[in-house]
Structure 1
Amino acid sequence: MTYQEIIRRLLPVCGQGEARAVARLVLEERFGLSLTDIALGKVNDFSREDLEELEKIMVRLENHEPVQYVLGWQWFCGNKFRVAPGVLIPRPETERLVDRCGVTDSGCRVLDIGTGSGCIAISIALRHRCRVEAMDISEEALAIAKENATSLGAEVTFRKADILQWREWRMASDKEKYDIIVSNPPYICRKETAEMERNVLDHEPEIALFVPDNDPLLFYRAIAEFGREALAEGGRIAFEINRAYGSEVCSMLSALGYHAAEVIDDQFGNPRIVLCRR
């Protein structure tokens, strides 16, 4: 199998530019080939075992499986995070949420709700001297997040909890106050599936993606209501949002008594983050 054959097989799955990028990534990360090696045709020198492994990878990619799951990792905020089909793949735009959530080195207490791979909580813990907790409803996600925290040397406390049931477990908890609540919750409506790529729809976890069409603010509202009980005075909430609902999220936060709600664009110019203060 040649480099050009790999690209040709990927073209029905993705465009020319992405096919080349995916091919290079696989050859570099899984087989140790540099761009020079690829240009010199080193793919043609693969052993039978390497060709068999490459073929297995190609079958997965042709089935629209994200290359991040195939390789088992994704870069986020300068670190490699292990990912698997049980967690959402970290996106570059979510890095802006880490940058803008307002964490300082003052020893503040941070809670990440719906942590998934742990990329937000772990990145905050690695950057700042603060106390970071993270929760998720998925045992599989928590296992991956804990593995990432250990491998990257981050101190994060993880626990299983459903934010939609926060009143039940909040009554039994220590009721400590947080300075910052950060979350990238599920925010895609089912009606939006026609606009989504197959690699997302077929492989990433539905529980981390979707909200009901008739209640797109479901998780934002639950977190904001929880925040009225759990945030210290002056504490902040930082959300990643569906770009279609920025004004609605801000209005909901204002109605619940939050102040200075604002929408911030991501690096691609899309409304992506909402910040507010209790």
Structure 2
Amino acid sequence: MTLQELKLNFFTELNTLYPATEIESFFYWLTQAYLKLSRLEVALQPEYKIEEIAIKNFQQATLQLKKFEPIQYIVGETEFFGFPFRVNPSVLIPRPETEELVAWIVEDFKNNKNSLKLLDVGTGSGCIPISLAKSLRQLEVTSIDVSAKAIETAKENAEVNEVEITFLEQDILKVEKLEENFDIIVSNPPYVRELEKEMMQENVLEHEPGLALFVSNEDPLIFYRKISELAFDSLSEEGILYLEINEYLAKETVQLINEIGFSFVEVKNDIFGKARMIKASRTSN
């Protein structure tokens, strides 16, 4: 089978399930993963002969895509903030808006050469703490998660990206006090309310870990309350708390953080104009 024939078969199998642009994107993900061919190489080599093992890999991937499994889980990796990350169903697939949160922190501290302690709450794939450790070498990073499988994945990603991070298995909701002080605390905790499920895509609902996504309708800010309380007690005098937030609950989240005692709270919109990030501190920065 040639590359051109493979592409035609791939599109034919999926054209009733996905838009053509998305199918094309999937195809390039798979040609890179299974054939080690770039987009340009695919375009220039339509008669490239495909080996049997690669054909079987594409057939298996097609079956998984028909079940709406995320392409990142199928190939087992993705890219975040320019760095490679392994992903699997035990961790969320990193989102572009989370890259914006990381970029905000990097921008704030890129000229600070002092040694700083950072705590990440909700490790997941490790995309936040690892990207920050790679980008800000002055950081001493600790990251916690309730999921042992998530921590295992994050440790693999730390090795891949050659950074040292202290990973701890902890349920943040059961932590009464952080054992040390930090200069930066960052978190992208669960914040999607049950009532928002109907707005989400099937591939997310059926395949990504609900533990890392959903909170109850009755107390949707449970993680923000706990993390902010711990941060208020454990941040250094000029320390900063950074949070990714639910765009529909920005006002309520700011009010909560103010009530806990943070004097300065800034909301930042993502590239789509949605309120998705918060920075909080005792003093203006």
TM class by shorter chain equals: over 0.9
Whether 1:162 and 2:166 are equivalent positions in the alignment is: no
- TM-fit CA distance, 1:37: 4.6
Residue of structure 2 in register with 1:123 after alignment: 131
Contact 1:264 1:272 in 2 (8 A): yes
Change (3 A) 1:105 1:84: farther
- TM-fit CA distance, 1:57: 1.1
When structure 1 is superposed on structure 2, of 210-219 and 21-30 the one drifting more is: 21-30
Structure 1, gaps ≥5 residues long = none
Q: Distance in 2 between matches of 1:3 and 1:13?
A: 16
Residue of structure 1 in register with 2:156 after alignment: 147
Residue of structure 2 in register with 1:60 after alignment: 64
- TM-fit CA distance, 1:36: 4.7
Residue of structure 2 in register with 1:189 after alignment: 193
Which of 198, 201, 206 is the aligned partner of 1:202? 206
Q: Distance in 1 between matches of 2:220 and 2:113?
A: 34
Whether 1:41 and 2:50 are equivalent positions in the alignment is: no
Percent of counterpart pairs with the same letter?
37
Residue of structure 1 in register with 2:120 after alignment: 112
Contact 1:114 1:137 in 2 (8 A): yes
Q: Distance in 1 between matches of 2:86 and 2:192?
A: 24
Q: Distance in 2 between matches of 1:80 and 1:219?
A: 28
User: Could you give the per-residue CA deviations for residues 87-107 of structure 1, whole angstroms, max 9, x where no partner exists?
Assistant: 000111101111213444321
The TM-score, its normalising length taken from structure 1, stands at 0.93
Contact 2:34 2:57 in 1 (8 A): no
Tell me the secondary structure at the aligned position of residue 229 of structure 1.
helix
User: Could you give the per-residue CA deviations for residues 196-255 of structure 1, whole angstroms, max 9, x where no partner exists?
Assistant: 011101110010000001111111111011112211122111000111011111110111
Q: Distance in 2 between matches of 1:254 and 1:262?
A: 11
Contact 2:34 2:54 in 1 (8 A): no
Whether 1:230 and 2:238 are equivalent positions in the alignment is: no
Q: Distance in 2 between matches of 1:48 and 1:146?
A: 34
User: Could you give the per-residue CA deviations for residues 67-119 of structure 1, whole angstroms, max 9, x where no partner exists?
Assistant: 10011111111101010100000111101111213444321110000010111
Q: Distance in 2 between matches of 1:84 and 1:164?
A: 25
Q: Distance in 1 between matches of 2:37 and 2:258?
A: 53
Structure 2, gaps ≥5 residues long = none
The TM-score, its normalising length taken from structure 2, stands at 0.91
Q: Distance in 2 between matches of 1:119 and 1:159?
A: 15
Task: Give the RMSD, CA atoms, in angstroms.
Answer: 1.5
Tell me the secondary structure at the aligned position of residue 175 of structure 2.
helix
Residue of structure 2 in register with 1:31 after alignment: 35
Change (3 A) 1:36 1:160: closer
- TM-fit CA distance, 1:49: 2.2
Q: Which amino acid aligns with 1:108?
A: L
Q: Which amino acid aligns with 1:260?
A: F
Tell me the secondary structure at the aligned position of residue 265 of structure 2.
strand
Aligned residues: 272
Residue of structure 1 in register with 2:219 after alignment: 215
Contact 2:119 2:142 in 1 (8 A): yes
Which of 139, 143, 147 is the aligned partner of 1:134? 143
Q: Distance in 2 between matches of 1:82 and 1:16?
A: 26
- TM-fit CA distance, 1:32: 2.1
Change (3 A) 1:106 1:6: same
Tell me the secondary structure at the aligned position of residue 207 of structure 2.
coil
Q: Distance in 2 between matches of 1:42 and 1:163?
A: 54
Q: Which amino acid aligns with 2:166?
A: T
